[in-house]
Amino acid sequence: MAFFKKKKQNAQHPRVLPEHIGIIMDGNGRWAKKRKLPRSAGHNAGGKVFRTISRYCSDIGIKYLTVYAFSTENWKRPKDEIDALMKLFKDYLEEALRDFKDDSIVVRFIGDKSPFSDELRALMIENEEGSKDRDGMVLNIAMNYGSRDELVRAVKLISQGVKNGEIDINSIDEDLVSSNLYTSGQPDPDLIIRPSGEYRISNFMLWQSAYTEFVIMNKLWPDFTTDDLDEAINIFNSRNRRFGGV
Could you tell me which residues come within 8 angstroms of residue 83 by beta carbon, excluding any fewer than 6 positions away? Answer: none
The pLDDT tens digits for 211-238 are: 999 999 999 999 999 999 999 999 999 9
Q: Which of 3, 14, 37, 52 is nearest to 223 (CA)?
A: 52
CATH numbers and ranges of domains, the chain? 20-146+189-238 (3.40.1180.10)
User: 55 burial class (0-12, 13-18, 19+ CB within 10 angstroms)?
Assistant: middle
Burial class (CB in 10 A: 0-12, 13-18, 19+), 208: buried
Dmax over CA atoms of the chain, in Å, equals 59
What is the H or E stretch that residue 195 is in?
strand 191-195
Q: Are 39 and 33 in contact (CB under 8 A)?
A: yes
Query: Cα–Cα distance between 182 and 185 in angstroms, integer?
Result: 9
Share of the chain above pLDDT 70, in %: 93
CA atoms within 13 A on the CB side of 71: 17
Cα–chain center distance at 70 = 10
Catalytic residues: 26, 74
- Taking only the tens place, the pLDDT of each residue in 54-78 is 999 999 999 999 999 999 999 999 9
Q: Which of 3-17, 66-80, 109-123, 147-161 has the lowest mean pLDDT?
A: 3-17
pLDDT score, position 15: 82
